Copies of this chain bind each other. A is one copy, B any other.
Amino acid sequence: MRSPPWFDKDEQHEPQTKAGLHPLEVMIKAKVAAMLEKKKLLGDGQADQGKFVLKTAKGTRDYGPKSMAVRESVLKIVTDAFKRHGAETIDTPVFELRDVLMGKYGEEGGKLVYDLQDQGGELLSLRYDLTVPFARYLAMNKISNIKRYHIAKVYRRDQPVMTRGRYREFYQCDFDIAGQYDLMIPEAECLKIVDEVLSKLEIGEFYVKLNHRYILEGMFAACGAGSDQFKTVCSSIDKLDKQPWNEVEEELIKEKGLSKDNTEKLGRFVRLREFNPSMGNVELLDKLMEFEELARNERFKKGIEELKVLVNYCTLFGVRSIRFDPSLARGLDYYTGAIYEAVVPNILFSRIPEALEGVNLEANGEEQKGLPVGVGSVAAGGRYDELVGNFIGPTGPKGKEKRQDVPCVGVSFGIERLFAIMEAKMQIEQMQVRTTETQVFIASAQKNLLQERMKLCGQLWDEGFKVEMAYKANPKLLTQLQYCEDRLIPLVLIVGERELQEGVVKLRNVKTREEQDVPLTELVSTIRSVLALI
């Protein structure tokens, strides 16, 4: 039995701290090398086989045991938080009737939906997110209140950027509260969850930007941009976290048709947080109300008041990471109230693409050129009160009753990005990842002890221990011990002829290399107590 060879190629290298190199730089170099290697391998494979290139579909990847172990540790923190808040879970099919998805993601999004081939029967598409299937589920089952989470993969035919964790198949991890409840209480719980998850992941500093659709609408209206321009102005403002103001300003004037004066005014509004970096949330909300043209807009005023309530509730819940930011303009059509986005200004993560600049990789056929550097948004959400109602439509005997809306608010974690951050963190901190939970390995000291090993194995499995043994009739002792050291298995039971005659087995602590003879009759209790101490 050899040392396990199944770690992903780009996971295998150990981060080295060579003279003068930051561990991160070493890691990046290794990553690049691994990718070039991969490319070479792929090329070779193609020539040799003549059949077809052995690869996964564009924008997708396999997850080897080590990646999966990291993912499971991140997902555990997230699901634990959801469960701590009393959420149930549901699951919906990976594809929906095409009509269910149509018109929900704007023009841009619609183009990215994967359609299934018409093989007779219904027209189907892969889900693009979990929110629309959730709304369909509520409407179809006439459910008017639920607190649920849903962790599943979604599909977008986007340009993939594998090095930055942007895939065509990726996990979403959603928590939503549906129901007619009192103002801002569910929102506060969503923000509490974001705060808990990001704290527990220990990925460094983070904060949660907060805004409200009414505030955006009010600011835009005061600058001559009516509701028909809401989306398009949002999409410009939304770029402020990646582009300087003068570029956004130019876009607003040249492409969106705002006047120079109005654009300047809008700049004063949306950049208020930027101009007052140390100001508290309530102070900043009050400051925005000082603009007369905003304050006389009732809807705007309502937005400000609602956020004040939310800020207070967050304080009561012990959430200190929120920052009101009038430049937060999440573009999704369906938001109707508060919106938020958690940001990790993580230097680790944002430096990786820089280091790769100029390297034209085609790992697994993906092109990496000319793509914008992201900002480290790791969770986002908001209130969407009308999405479910859109599915239900007007009800009642004549179809003329009022809409049956099911108010919803939720948050979605950018779990792929969290995985990537966590993997980078673990490599830099040289943390060892166990891919199995094996507690005891049953080894043999001499030949012809297979039957004894099997009997012991069976007994220990039946007692609930996590146990492995070599699948060889006569494995070498050293190979077996080496396997345990490689896989971080804490205990080895060594079966030997002398010991069997005496009715004992040798119990070895892999780390300390201490050994003791344990009578077979006391084996279970001894292992249990030794494991309890490790």
Residues of A within 8 A of B (CB): 1-2, 4-6, 8-9, 48-52, 54-58, 60-65, 68-69, 72, 83-97, 99-100, 114-119, 121-122, 124, 126, 136-137, 139-141, 143-146, 148, 153, 155, 157, 169, 177, 179, 181-182, 185-186, 188-189, 192, 196, 313, 316-319, 391-393, 395, 399, 435-438, 450-451, 454-455, 457-459, 461-462, 464-468, 471-473
Residues of B within 8 A of A97 (CB): 52, 55-57
Residues of B within 8 A of A179 (CB): 471
Please determine whether A141 and B472 come into contact, CB atoms closer than 8 angstroms.
no
Please determine whether A88 and B141 come into contact, CB atoms closer than 8 angstroms.
no
Say which residue of B68, B91, B181, B455 sits within 8 Å of A471 (CB atoms): B181
> How many whole Å from A93's CB to the nearest CB in chain B?
4
Please determine whether A185 and B92 come into contact, CB atoms closer than 8 angstroms.
no
With both beta carbons as reference points, the residue of chain B lying nearest to A66 in the complex is identified as B88
Please determine whether B117 and A118 come into contact, CB atoms closer than 8 angstroms.
yes
> How many whole Å from A387's CB to the nearest CB in chain B?
13
Residues of B within 8 A of A455 (CB): 316-317
Docked Cα-Cα span, A121 to B114, in Å, equals 12
Docked Cα-Cα span, A393 to B72, in Å, equals 34
Please determine whether A316 and B84 come into contact, CB atoms closer than 8 angstroms.
no
Please determine whether A119 and B436 come into contact, CB atoms closer than 8 angstroms.
no
Can you spell out 12 A-B residue pairs with CB atoms less than 8 angstroms apart? A6-B143, A8-B141, A62-B137, A65-B88, A84-B465, A85-B467, A117-B117, A186-B471, A196-B461, A316-B454, A317-B458, A319-B458
Docked Cα-Cα span, A340 to B69, in Å, equals 30
A64 with B141, Cβ < 8 A, contacts A153-B94, A436-B83, A461-B85 known: yes
Please determine whether B84 and A466 come into contact, CB atoms closer than 8 angstroms.
yes
> How many whole Å from A81's CB to the nearest CB in chain B?
9
With both beta carbons as reference points, the residue of chain B lying nearest to A460 in the complex is identified as B84
Docked Cα-Cα span, A88 to B137, in Å, equals 34
Residues of B within 8 A of A49 (CB): 392-393
Docked Cα-Cα span, A431 to B332, in Å, equals 43
Number of copies: 2
Please determine whether B93 and A56 come into contact, CB atoms closer than 8 angstroms.
yes
Please determine whether A318 and B6 come into contact, CB atoms closer than 8 angstroms.
no
Residues of B within 8 A of A117 (CB): 114-118
Residues of B within 8 A of A464 (CB): 84
With both beta carbons as reference points, the residue of chain B lying nearest to A464 in the complex is identified as B84
Please determine whether A83 and B136 come into contact, CB atoms closer than 8 angstroms.
no
Residues of B within 8 A of A115 (CB): 116-117, 119
Residues of B within 8 A of A146 (CB): 4, 6, 65
Max chain B CB contacts within 10 Å: which of A58, A95, A148, A179? A95
Docked Cα-Cα span, A100 to B49, in Å, equals 13
Residues of B within 8 A of A116 (CB): 114-117, 126
Say which residue of B87, B319, B466 sits within 8 Å of A83 (CB atoms): B466
Residues of B within 8 A of A473 (CB): 182, 185
With both beta carbons as reference points, the residue of chain B lying nearest to A468 in the complex is identified as B86
Say which residue of B57, B62, B141, B461 sits within 8 Å of A122 (CB atoms): B57
Residues of B within 8 A of A177 (CB): 471
Please determine whether A114 and B119 come into contact, CB atoms closer than 8 angstroms.
yes
With both beta carbons as reference points, the residue of chain B lying nearest to A312 in the complex is identified as B451
Please determine whether B61 and A88 come into contact, CB atoms closer than 8 angstroms.
no
Please determine whether B58 and A121 come into contact, CB atoms closer than 8 angstroms.
yes
Docked Cα-Cα span, A67 to B458, in Å, equals 33
With both beta carbons as reference points, the residue of chain B lying nearest to A317 in the complex is identified as B458
